[in-house]
Structure 1
Amino acid sequence: MVLPKFNKYIFWKSVIDFVFSLLLIFVLLPFIFVLFILATIDTKSHGLFSQIRIGRYGKPFKIFKVRTINPSTNVCSRYGRFLRKSKLDELPQLFNIFLGQMSFVGPRPDIPGYYDKLVGKDREVLQLKPGVTSRASIKYINEEEMLKNVNNPNYYNDEVIFPEKIKMNLEYLRSFSFREDLLILRKTYNVYFKSKK
């Protein structure tokens, strides 16, 4: 099922994503380059990390991040933990948005084995481009810490967290609008930036 208002807004959402990602890349490119150099030194490896994720319509794509883990030791340094906690490691995803693979707002893309395996009505969520932020990602902002505190992290993720994310992302699809995106972006700002002041 494709919602009528989804069709009306999807074009303008793509235009907004393209324009603002281009502007932000132009402004933040020197800063991203510095993060990349520091990550290269810190991890003793290539500072840019890429990984296959599942995108719109179930198509795989390469997501970009600043590397936070040394591939030789599989250890995340203090600098890497800072990048993750501050979400600065996500800045290279501006290029994913510019390339049309992602959006500023949408379901966080997951590794193969999750979104590509959805069946029935749950697959409607694949009409959406994956995003940098969403109501689900805000709710599970401390997902890594949460999973560390349960006996069976894989089971808890697969049976509790992931189904809840799908439910929330389907709700986003049904309320798909410019207003909804602004509300999510404002909430993201409040959670990641305003609360840290």
Structure 2
Amino acid sequence: MHKVTKRRLLQLALAVDAAGALMPVGVLCAVTRQPQPLLTAVLAGAAWLAVGALKNRYTRDELAGDNAAIPIVWDWLIMLGVLSVVFVAGRVEVSLEVCVLALLPCLALSVVRRKLVHRYLLAVRRRAQALRRALIIGEAGAVDKVCALLAQRTDHEYVVVGSCLVGAEATESALPVLARLVPDADATDAVLDGETVLRCAAELDAELVFVAPGRQLSAARVRCLAWALNDGGRDLAVLPGLIDVSQHRVRLANAAGLTVMHIDHATRRGLPVLLKQATDRLGALLLLVLLSPVFVAVGAAIRLSSTGPVFYWQIRMGQDLRPFRMWKFRTMVVTADLMRPALESANEHDGAMFKIRRDPRVTRVGRLLRRFSLDELPQLFNVLAGHMSLVGPRPPLPEEVERYDAIELRRLSVKPGLTGLWQVSGRSDLSWDETVALDLSYVDNWSYARDIGVLFRTVRAVVDGRGAY
């Protein structure tokens, strides 16, 4: 991240957090005639900033990180505990109810600030701003793979500006190769690695060095490189070779001097899963009741505009390849399934999915329903019946599943969802590979908090309508 951007974001974070705690506490304590409103406000502001600092919320990685709200909630609960101890020890008389109520705004403001900063950084990164220049070191094949993966996405802060390759193997990357390190290094070569890499990093003005370990880049060699980079003031990041593993599944340990990275199992049972199931059933029931007038209006519009039934069902494949009958509002002519073979050549989607932007089978009302995803609402009955979840991968057709490979089949290890990462990330505008990658990310890294985030993002995706056809 650019130094100016980092400084401004840090100043913003500190100002928002301090004001969010100081002002509401001071005002509410004064209005309710608490004995020491100014002291209480100062202690609250100091406690909130101190907890944030101790939890590293103001570091560069945190300021440029994700927008998860759960860590901030935990920080807020810790702050309440800290303040309770301080108030008792300092004999500060303040009503507990007033204090908790006055501290709610700082929680809300910090969450909103975190999300807005995240959104701002995503926007500026797409314009190639607020990026960290990185030099990458490794064997040619590993370097090419890392560069290709980083080039596919714009939601990260790294831009690789050059490489130092181990060995003489040719690279497919267009990056400038500033130096080549000897493949079979002894202790002297390992020390020289550091000098070479520091010189190359300085030449490219790279603040970060990526290391892609391989057969020719031993742990002892990386250790010597880390010493040199530490002394030279350059950051080091080691790429472990893992793809799309969420941070909450990673645990670091130490054994005989080795850094051991434990990858926790994907969540499939326990309290979080029970909570998800309860949310699915209760949420579906509540939405069906609240949206009953919408069901009546949509049903009337379909019957009045075209011949045929209001509802349409298809056999879809659910969790563990169990077929189920999925319900939707009918958006096509009644002969749509018979017309599909003639339209196969017009398919605009790659992979196993069939999509046509201007599908001639879609009715006028159906096009409007698809634009705002109203045709999906009857799937709430599927959620209530346990066939689907509120959030999950897209439910595929049996003929699509027949074309899946072993990796794509993993999408069906959880219940399909009424909404999901596919729906909030562009829907039909995404390629098949992007769709599979999003679904696999959800399957492997699921969390209850992530589900809640997807549900909130769904509202924005429905209003936006991008990729809905």
TM-score category of the 2 structures, normalised to the smaller one: 0.7 to 0.9
Question: Which consecutive segments of 4 or more residues in structure 1 shift more than 4 A?
Answer: none
2:421 to 123, 129, 135: 135
User: What is the alpha-carbon distance in structure 1 between the residues aligned to residue 443 and residue 319 of structure 2?
Assistant: 13
Would you tell me which structure has more helix in proportion to its own residues? 1
User: Aligned ranges for residues 15-54 of structure 1 at < 5 Å?
Assistant: 15-54=278-317
Letter in 1 for 2:440: L
Q: Which letter does structure 1 place at the counterpart of 2:269?
A: N
Determine the structure 2 residue equivalent to 1:13: 276
Matched with 2:385 is 99
Alignment of 1:175 with 2:437, yes or no, is: no
CA distance in 1 between counterparts of 2:398 and 2:431 reads 16
Cα RMSD between the aligned structures? 2.3
- Kindly indicate whether residue 370 of structure 2 is the aligned counterpart of residue 84 of structure 1: yes
Q: Give the conservation status (yes or no) of the 8 Å contact 1:105–1:134.
A: yes
Structure of higher CA gyration radius: 2
Query: What is the CA-CA distance between 1:108 and the residue it aligns to?
Result: 1.1
Conserved? CA contact 2:312–2:328, under 8 Å: yes
Asked if structure 2 preserves the Cα contact closer than 8 Å seen for 1:43 and 1:71, the reply is no
Distance (whole Å) between structure 2 residues aligned to residue 124 and residue 3 of structure 1 = 14
Percent identity of the aligned residues?
A: 29
The alignment covers a number of residue pairs equal to: 178
- The verdict on how the C-alpha distance between 1:68 and 1:176 changes in structure 2, with shifts beyond 3 A counting, is same
Judging changes above 3 Å, is the alpha-carbon distance between structure 1 residues 136 and 31 closer, same or farther for their aligned structure 2 residues?
Answer: closer
Using structure 2 for the length normalisation, give the TM-score: 0.36
Q: Does the Cα contact within 8 Å between 1:6 and 1:177 map onto a contact in 2?
A: no
Aligned partners of 1:22, 1:115: CA distance in 2, in Å? Answer: 30
Structure 2 partner of 1:154:
none
Inter-partner Cα distance in structure 1 for 2:382 and 2:284: 9
Q: State the shift of 1:103 in Å.
A: 0.8
Instruction: Provide the rounded CA distance (Å) in 1 between the counterparts of 2:284 and 2:395.
Output: 18
Q: Which runs of 5+ in 1 are unaligned?
A: 147-159
Partner residue of 2:397? 111
1:13 deviates by: 0.8
Shift of 1:44: 0.7
8 Å contact from structure 1 (residues 43, 67) kept in 2: no
One-letter code aligned to 1:162: W
Question: Conserved in 1, the CA contact under 8 Å of 2:312 and 2:327?
Answer: yes
For structure 1, which segment, 35-44 or 64-73, has the greater mean C-alpha deviation from structure 2 after superposition? 64-73
Deviation at 1:11, TM superposition (A): 2.0
Higher relative contact order (CA 8 A, sep 6+): 1
**SS in structure 1 at match of 2:393:** coil
SS in 2 for 1:5: coil
- Return the alpha-carbon distance in structure 2 between the equivalents of residues 95 and 165 of structure 1: 25
Shift of 1:36: 1.5
1:61 offset after TM fit, Å?
Answer: 0.9
Instruction: List alignment gaps of at least 5 residues for structure 2.
Output: 1-263, 337-359
